[in-house]
Amino acid sequence: MLEMRPDCERCGADTPAGKPGSFICSFECTFCTKCADELDDLCPNCGGELMDRPTRSAKLLEKFPASTVRKHKG
């Protein structure tokens, strides 16, 4: 199950688990759309491809909540 991290690691923008617009690599590094575009869809941490992160429905978010640990090092 994906962690569904709450923020972009590059700029700190919110990345809600129930909304589209987040990108992840195979290690779940998470980026907003703007940063993923600026990074040419390549993860700066591992060099892996950034892909659209799936959303999680509200019902499943209740049972399996998204992570609250922010990764942005601002």
The answer as to whether 16 is a domain residue is: yes
Tally of structural domains, the chain: 1
- pLDDT of 74 > 90? The answer is no
Which tokens hold the place of 36?
Answer: 């993923």
The pLDDT tens digits of the residues spanning 6-46 come to 999 999 999 999 999 999 999 999 999 999 999 999 999 99
The answer as to whether 57 is a domain residue is: yes
The pLDDT tens digits of the residues spanning 38-73 come to 999 999 999 999 999 999 999 999 999 999 999 998
One-letter amino acid of 38: E
CATH number reported for the structural domain that contains residue 31 in this entry: 3.30.40
The answer as to whether 74 is a domain residue is: no
The answer as to whether 31 is a domain residue is: yes
Burial of 28 per CB tally in 10 Å (0-12, 13-18, 19+)? middle
What is the model's pLDDT at position 73? 83
Q: Give the N- to C-terminal CA distance of the chain in Å, as an integer.
A: 27
Look up the pTM and report it. 0.91
The answer as to whether 33 is a domain residue is: yes
